[in-house]
Amino acid sequence: MKTPPNFEDELEEETESDEVFPVFREGAKFGELHLEVGMKFNTKWDFKEAVREYTIQEGMRIRFNKNDRKRLRAVCKVKECSWVIFASKDRDDTCWQVKTFRDDHSCAREDKNRTANRNWVAIKLVKKNRKYPNFRHCDANTFFKTKYDLSLNRNSISKALSDARNLVYGDEKAQYAMVRDYGETLLKTNPDLGDYKTHGWCFISDMQKGLINAVQEVMPNVHHRFCEFREHREKLKRLNPEAWAYLEKWPTHSWTRSQFSHKSKLDSICNNACEVFNAKIKEAMRKPIITLLEEVRMFVMRTIAKNKVKLDNHVGILSPVIKSRLEKLRKESG
């Protein structure tokens, strides 16, 4: 190993040498990273990131100084400590090289480190978000505590987790700009799904506003009995207020056809279907809109595929659950 220069001679021109110095390799496992005199880095940014990773690994606080285009030095924040690392551009001005490295660090290990900034934390969380789509704040806190022995504040983790999700799933604002294109793509690739009149589509709302406008925008000619009833109701109010006052005394389902149903009846009189669906997509609802829609689409497709497998050997026009209910009612009526 080449003898390191004195600190006062850090900037002196080195004599020519044929020694081959190690080149820093990214991707070293946390806990196995090491630095040494003569190690080369492609850029100053690579050197700073390596020092950052090393000091977090060792649990020490540092600060950078002599921060210019040609040289950079980092020292321990504890004045009594002699730990220092110095790097500058090599003779050919092609890379950065460690000139001085005093690694006699004697300070106690700390679990708080300012070098573990928002950008560093976000980069570490990207892989976790890709592997675990529902990676949460508490999971991130445990991850940094167990692997890096770091105690990060809640605000820092929240912001970094948001940045990591944007990198993995895409920017939230940018995804809203693609919603219309996404809808048109679905209609082109699923033509579509069949005619809503022929198949008797039913749109269920969990007391959320805007459903009528959303459905009519996608299918402008859709038959919506409530909308028609509302238009005729207003017209009747203008033509004959007394007649409307009389009709208003009675429940609408007993006198207006818009409230009648000519399709198969279902004994479900609550919004349990909506509640179950909302519970299934709870984690996806935290993600940007296109990612949310894609996860909902995949969830529905998987559910349909599983139900098809279950019904492959089923005989009859009724589903198993409804058939069992009907059989129960038949026995009770007997």
Q: Which two tokens stand for residue 212?
A: 């009528």
> Using one digit for the tens of pLDDT, what is the confidence trace for 95-114?
888 888 888 877 888 888 88
284 DSSP 8-state letter: G
Q: State how far the Cα of 217 lies from the Cα of 211, in Å rounded to an integer.
A: 10
| Predicted confidence (pLDDT) per residue in 222-276, tens digit | 555 566 677 778 888 889 888 888 888 888 777 776 666 666 556 666 667 778 8
Q: What are the structural domain ranges in the chain?
A: 7-102, 118-169
Position 295, amino acid: E
**Cα gap 3→265, rounded to integer Å:** 89
| Residue carrying the six token digits 């009149």 | 197
Residues 6 or more apart in contact with residue 133 via CB below 8 angstroms: 283, 287, 295
Note the pLDDT of residue 131: 84
CB 169 within 8 A of CB 288: yes
pLDDT at residue 50 tops 70: yes
DSSP E strands, the chain: 40-41, 62-65, 71-76, 84-89, 96-102
* pLDDT of residue 195 exceeding 90: no
Sorting pLDDT into bands at 50, 70 and 90, what band is 11? very low
Size of the chain, expressed as the number of residues it contains: 334
* Three-class DSSP category at 282: coil
**CA separation for the pair 225, 238 (Å, rounded):** 20
- How far is it, in rounded angstroms, from Cα 126 to Cα 161? 8
Query: Tens digits of per-residue pLDDT, 115-128?
Result: 888 888 998 899 88
d(CA 235, CA 127): 61
Q: Enter the tokens of residue 17.
A: 């040498």
Q: Give the HSE-up count for residue 82: Cα atoms under 13 Å, Cβ half-sphere.
A: 6
Among the residue ranges 53-57, 192-196, 242-246, 319-323, the one predicted with the least confidence is 192-196
Residue with tokens 């060792």: 58
Residue 42 DSSP label: S
What is the residue-averaged pLDDT of the chain? 79
pLDDT at 15: 37
What does the pLDDT read at residue 170? 77
